[in-house]
Chain A
Amino acid sequence: MSNNLKALKWLYGELPNLVTKGIIDEEGAAKIKTHYGALPKTSTLPMALIITGILGAVLIGAGIILIFGYNWENFTLNQRTVLSFLPLIVAQMVYGYTFFRKRNDTGWVESSSIFLMLMLASSLALISQTYHVDGELEDFLFTWILLSIPLLYLMNASLPAMLLMILSTWWAGLVVDFQSYKPIYYWLFFLAFLPHLIYHLKDRKTEIREVLLGWVFVVSFGIAMIFVFASRNIADHYLIGIAAITPLVYLLGKYVHGHGATIWQRPLQTASIAMTIGVSLFFAYGIDWKEFRLEKIMTAYLEAGSLGILNLVFVIACFVGTISLASIRFSKKQQTNPFLLIFPVLVLIMLGAGMTFSKIAFNVFLLGFSIFYIKEGLNTQKLSLINVGMLILSLLIGMRFFDVSIPFMIKGIVFIIIGICFLTANVYLSKKYKSNEH
């Protein structure tokens, strides 16, 4: 997307040159312009204004929290109570001004929203300090998150959304406990920020917002999922969570980012591919996962009662979402990485079949995955794809070479067979290349 834009800008810049040099005539230049259309109005957002505005708001907010948090002893209870409201009211006035006068100014919207969110926390903390109410940090965060949700939608500010995602993960981490299911409530926070996320990831007006939001989401969500599925027993739950969520995140990424220019510009795809490769390497290594049994997981869910069912509903929703998004893509014949979709199937089969199967299956899977990347890379002339494929392959080879559980004979024969395959491919490709040259 942005690459095309760059190319177009370059082309339009060259056109007058080409005309003066007589390579094309005026008419030709005009035709080219009508063919490609006018340059989309790049939002010449004064980025410096936005960044300084946001940093100013955050720093002033933090400063106010520190000064008011000093706990000035000379004030009476009533004076302090009034003072607790002061930062909140000031922030509300700034927010109100932005709401009615500057709603289209990104800098104002983001700064005033994050400022109000911080001052909300400041007021809550000051009041509990004034009355010596000892709240747990997790309860404080819970209240703060719930109160902040409207800030994501009143003016569509993304900074509060990012902070909210981080706070939700922090909250889930604080309440994680092997005997309780509380982190599962994270799904409610997830539902609260999901519309904002999808709306802005699809809307590519400001690329920085899209990319930042995407990265904060995948990182915080990935960590939160550890807590959510670790509620009782990490071994039982986490795997089924990965199987349900990884392909969905990939397909969502395809849906919202499309084909982002670099891996940094498509965080959802990058994260889910990294997850798929990482987990597959783990199982290809062949650790004994007797714990992973479907019936065990089901009993764990039933034991968890309503929260377990809530989690199960989300897992099923993820699978349904994956299947429907995938079938839409296939029916439209859109390019999709099939290995991301094979992965959850393999995980689910593995949950029933056990270790020997999983070890062989994931080795074959990774081999296929790496070949897929190398092939794609060669077809599209993208070195980065070839590198990813080679990386997976070399990790796999290294792992198996030092694997003591396979007899040397078998290991040697398999290595030689795969080596011959690559050489054959090499010979075939070089012949094809030469015949193309002629």
Chain B
Amino acid sequence: MNTNIIRTLLFFVVMIGYLLFPFYSISSYQNVLTDGEVFRFRPAPVDPYDAFRGKYVRLDFPQNRLVLEKGQATFKRDQDIFLTLKEDSLGYTQIDKAFHRAPENTPNYIKTRTLYNIGSSVYFQLPFDKYFLNEELAPLAEKKARELTWNRDGNNQASIYMDVRVKNGKALIEELYFEGIPIKEYLHTNEK
């Protein structure tokens, strides 16, 4: 009898835990999306296939590395790294500095892990490098992205950019824009 009550109690604890876990991740994502500061990144997309999660557009960032100046902290591979951000003259985001611990004076930093070092540069993966679309839209997006990248004149305003919300180390994609239009809308108006 007693073991039965414990078992039933455990059953409810586990079931509620199963609901709370995704709920917790969702609310923390929502928190970043509503309260986080917007940063505009300029990516260059490519498109691999992820069988487990459908399809997505993979985004490569030129901001995935930082040349460490003398006197700055050094990093080993596969280590936590905290990156502060700054805007360049065109209004796009660049990585400012890298730290071993979370900076205390600003919530606008990204936490990720280092990949490797080359010389004085440290390479890392930015935690927002996949934009999920379905299997029909993803190849289309890739095709359009290639076209837009070809047509782009180096000094003009970039035709592809992504808005990312950043708060206390977390960074989430808000929207991906092609020629200033949100990607899904763009793909529907420019089909084929």
Contact = CB atoms under 8 A, between A and B. Distances in A.
Interface of A: 69-73, 81, 84-85, 88-89, 92, 95-96, 99, 116, 120, 123-125, 127-134, 137, 147, 150, 154, 177, 179-180
B25 A127 contact: yes
Contacts of B71: none
Nearest to A77: B33
Contact of A84 (B22, B55, B135): B22
A69 B25 CA distance: 18
Nearest to A72: B134
27 contacts: A69-B54, A70-B135, A71-B133, A71-B134, A71-B135, A73-B134, A84-B26, A88-B22, A92-B15, A92-B19, A95-B15, A96-B11, A123-B22, A125-B53, A128-B53, A129-B56, A131-B26, A131-B33, A131-B172, A132-B128, A132-B173, A133-B29, A134-B127, A134-B129, A134-B130, A177-B78, A179-B78
Contacts of A127: 22, 25-26, 29
A374 to B, nearest CB: 50
B74 to A, nearest CB: 17
Contact of B77 (A95, A99, A124, A179): A179
- Most B CB contacts (10 A, CB to CB) among A95, A129, A177 go to A129
Interface string B5-36: 00100110011011101100110010001000
Contacts of A70: 54, 134-135
A113 to B, nearest CB: 12
B54 A92 contact: no
Contacts of B137: 73
Interface of B: 7, 10-11, 14-15, 17-19, 21-22, 25-26, 29, 33, 52-56, 77-78, 127-135, 137, 172-173, 184
Contacts of B129: 134
Nearest to B113: A136
A132 B132 CA distance: 6
Contact of A73 (B19, B21, B184): B184
A374 B52 CA distance: 51
A101 B133 CA distance: 41
Contacts of A179: 77-78
A150 B14 contact: yes
Contacts of A96: 11, 15
A147 B29 CA distance: 20
Contacts of A116: 18
B78 A180 contact: yes
Nearest to A127: B22
B56 to A, nearest CB: 8
Contacts of A88: 18-19, 22
Contacts of B134: 70-73
Given A71-B134, A73-B184, A150-B10, A134 B128 contact: yes
Nearest to A140: B52
Contacts of A124: 22
B172 A85 contact: no
Contact of B7 (A129, A130, A154): A154
A342 B169 CA distance: 55
A85 B22 CA distance: 8
A153 to B, nearest CB: 8
A129 B18 contact: no
A81 B55 CA distance: 18
Contacts of B131: 132
A129 B132 contact: yes
A231 to B, nearest CB: 13
